[in-house]
């Protein structure tokens, strides 16, 4: 029960990774506000411990005013916030040559802009509490490796792998993590990221088998494995870690 009496906000709480993160926090006693565009608390299906509370909110986090409003509602309902996990995100497939402006904007508006304004929206509350806080962003292997696809071998691999718009949005999240970590360190607010490799979910349903076979550990990761990394960074044990991007990718990339 590492997170008993902690107040946690998880965006993307109805998704595979966000849902696993929310359940992992609930298992360890956290009270939570879960935000997703698709579903509210009941549909997220998080089973909370007896002493915890789970609030659900439906919001489009690509809309800044809507985002700010729902974050403040969550902070009010929880009577504060100790941890923010930015797990909401969308992916995008296909070639750079075929990428149009509308798709570019769709990806950046949630994966990059939305993450920043979620972070911004909890800063003052964490500062006022005077006991620090934790911000954990979900980045990606694709922000580092230039993409999983190998078009020089098979051009069709690009159709089932995240594209340049997705990779750049997550690279921006990694940079944002480093900037915020420095700026918020005087307030004892740590800011870190987890960068998953291929994780079993609806978002990776079209991931080519030939690329799956290149993962050194021989399999895709699970949402719970990502959640375990997030909980470590949110814990007291990680109090001296900030500005870190923690890879969870089965050995597919190391730096």
Q: Which residues are catalytic?
A: 166
Q: Three-state SS string across 11-80, please?
A: ECCCCHHHHHHHHHHHHCCCEEEEEECCCCHHHHCCCCCCCCCEEEEECCCCCHHHHHHHHHHHHHHHCC
Which tokens belong to 74? 């969550």
- By DSSP bridging, strand 245-248 and strand 189-196 are parallel
Backbone dihedral angles phi then psi of residue 173, each to the nearest 5 degrees: -65, -40
Dihedral sign for Cα 11, 12, 17, 18, please: positive
Q: Are 163 and 92 in contact (CB under 8 A)?
A: yes
Write out the DSSP string of 111-138.
IIIIHHHHHHHHHHHHHHHTS-EEEEEE
């Amino acid at each position: 029960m590492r997170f008993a009496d902690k107040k946690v906000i998880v965006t993307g709480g109805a998704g595979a990774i966000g849902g696993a993160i929310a359940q992992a926090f609930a298992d360890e006693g956290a009270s939570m506000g879960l935000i997703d565009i698709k579903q509210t608390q009941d549909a997220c299906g998080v089973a909370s411990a007896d002493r915890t509370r789970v609030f659900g909110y439906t919001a489009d986090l690509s809309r800044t005013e809507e985002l700010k409003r729902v974050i403040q509602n969550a902070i009010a309902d929880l009577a504060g916030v100790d941890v923010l996990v930015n797990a909401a995100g969308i992916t995008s497939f296909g070639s750079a040559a075929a990428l149009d402006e509308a798709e570019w904007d769709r990806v950046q508006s949630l994966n990059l802009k939305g993450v920043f304004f979620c972070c911004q929206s909890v800063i003052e509350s964490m500062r006022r509490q005077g006991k620090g806080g934790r911000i954990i962003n979900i980045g990606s292997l694709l922000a580092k490796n230039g993409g999983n696809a190998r078009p020089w071998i098979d051009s069709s691999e690009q159709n089932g792998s995240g594209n340049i718009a997705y990779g750049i949005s997550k690279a921006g999240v990694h940079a944002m993590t480093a900037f915020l970590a420095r700026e918020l360190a005087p307030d004892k607010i740590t800011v870190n990221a987890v960068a998953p490799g291929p994780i079993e979910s609806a978002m990776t349903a079209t991931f080519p088998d030939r690329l799956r076979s290149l993962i050194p550990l021989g399999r895709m990761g699970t949402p719970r494995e990502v959640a375990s990394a997030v909980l470590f960074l949110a814990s007291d044990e990680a109090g001296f870690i900030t500005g870190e991007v923690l890879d969870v990718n089965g050995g597919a990339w190391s730096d």
